[in-house]
Amino acid sequence: MRPRLALICALILGAVSVLGFAPFYLYPIPIATLAVLFYLWQKSGSAKQAAWLGFSFGLGLFNTGIYWIYISLHDFGGMPFWMAAFSTFVLNAFLALFPAAVGYLTGNLWRNNKTAAAVIAAPLLWALSDWVRSWIFTGFPWLTLGYSQVPNSPLAGFAPLLGVYGVSMVAALAASLIAFWGNPLARRRIVFGIVLLWVAGSLFKLIEWSKPTGAPISVALVQGNIAQDMKWDAEIAQHTLDQYLALVRSSNAELTVLPETALPMLIDQVPADYLQALKTHAVENKGDLLVGAVEFENEQYYNSTLSFGSSPTQTYRKSHLVPFGEFIPLKGIFGWIYRDWLNIPLSDLSRGSKTPQPLKIAGQQVAVNICYEDVFGEEIIRQLPQATLLVNVSNDAWYGNSFAADQHMQISQTRALETGRMMLRATNTGATAIIDPHGEVLAHAPHFTTAVLTGSAQGYSGGTPYARFGNWPWLIFSFAVFALLWGRKKK
């Protein structure tokens, strides 16, 4: 295939890969597209060409999959359209460097006729690139390959053992084996390898990694549906407070959860009788209520979730903040962006504790995480095994009517599967949902509607291997394999 045609093909493959993620959930597609990319790497004339193919694939994937960054910057952040488009493209181009690096390293192996090494190294490098994306420059692991397999793929069975990056590794290994199908001498081993991965994943899905503890509780997840461009408008603040109070009073659940920053003012500015009304209703239901609000303490602002009700008031403060959205990195250099281009409220928050404890409410030990935090599985497990239930409060109204909210819900599904815990999601405009420990959505409120999603939640105890060991097992395995390949090369 001609180089330019191959680049166009890689770009299309990356774009098509988005169909594997929510809201589509077509999990075989990313494996198939990645297999074609690996095949193109085999046929590339140089490591440099393979890198360009990886970069083109990445551009297709991220420009199609996270186009909603533009919506947050332009539609709600007030950035001029050309600057918002440029900023979104720069971010996507940076993310595309990761598959480019994998292509370069793998292309070197193919160029040096290290066929077996390339087949093994490509999936390990792909998973490692997903993992590096999760922490470099505070991390942005959106569209990690492993998420595309949750919850329906047999390969999702590896999530409780290895986490989402381990699932990336297994899915990329399946793609690598398929890409090597052109070698007739290896086809039996290829078929055996793919069947083994599918059967193993299916068997792992049958294992109950955690067990129920205590009686189920009734829950109510409140979706206020407050338009983002009106959320902080002082003129409708009272209307927002009244609406949330009415929604809370419409439910008799033991645990009621309101979205991230549901109250459109500092918690100290909320009328005392309003907070007392929330507490009184929760006490009448013999339970508790969680509400998102902003705290101001010691000259610092926090994105917090507070509890009111039968249990003593407790607070969780968000610790993993979104760069440029919730804090300004290198403020002396980038502060002008906020002064001249953006109008984002609460863009300079402080971090909460990195070692939070579960909130003891409604007879459960609740591990709260706020919005973007549930993208980082290694941080969610810090509250395990004590936590019996996971709660995510979020406000994805920043991204309009895009894929973002559904993609975010799929990430929450993965956290439930990794930890063997139910996940409750209360959001402003969607996706509000009740998710079981297998990552299946039990109930889901329609997007962009005012609703109270009711149901029951079961607490769980015990833990998955991932909750106990985190990413270490697959990382150690990966580096051990690389050491073995290096040793064979030296020999």
Phi, psi of 102 (to 5 degrees): -65, -40
- Count of CB atoms situated within 10 Å of the CB of 421: 33
- Residue 299 annotated as catalytic: no
**Partner residues linked to 323 by β-bridges:** 327
Q: Per the residue annotation, which of 9, 371, 373, 379 is the catalytic one?
A: 371
Q: Per the residue annotation, which of 254, 295, 318, 326 is the catalytic one?
A: 318
Are the C-beta atoms of residues 393 and 370 closer than 8 Å to each other? yes
Cα dist from 277 to 218, 224, 234, 271, whole Å: 20, 18, 21, 10
Q: Which residues contact 469 (CB under 8 A, 6 or more apart)?
A: none
- Residue 371 annotated as catalytic: yes
Q: Is 449 exposed, middle or buried (0-12, 13-18, 19+ CB in 10 A)?
A: exposed
Phi, psi of 217 (to 5 degrees): -120, 155
Q: Is 215 exposed, middle or buried (0-12, 13-18, 19+ CB in 10 A)?
A: exposed
Q: What is the DSSP string of 375-415?
A: G-HHHHGGGTTT-SEEEEEE-GGGG-SSSHHHHHHHHHHHH
On the CB side of 152, CA atoms within 13 Å amount to 12
**Partner residues linked to 218 by β-bridges:** 456
- Could you give the angle at which helices 47-65 and 81-111 cross, rounded to 10 degrees? 140
Tokens matching residue 357: 């404890």
d(CA 57, CA 96): 7
Are the C-beta atoms of residues 389 and 364 closer than 8 Å to each other? yes
Cα dist from 314 to 18, 173, 310, 355, whole Å: 39, 45, 11, 15
- Residue 260 annotated as catalytic: yes
Tokens matching residue 12: 């299309």
- Count of CB atoms situated within 10 Å of the CB of 343: 10
Tokens matching residue 486: 């290096």
Q: Per the residue annotation, which of 254, 260, 326, 418 is the catalytic one?
A: 260
On the CB side of 358, CA atoms within 13 Å amount to 21
d(CA 425, CA 433): 5
Are the C-beta atoms of residues 387 and 431 closer than 8 Å to each other? no
Burial 450-488 (b: 16+ CB within 10 A, else e): ebbbbbbbbbbbebbbbbebbbebbbeebeeebeebeee
Catalytic residues: 260, 318, 371
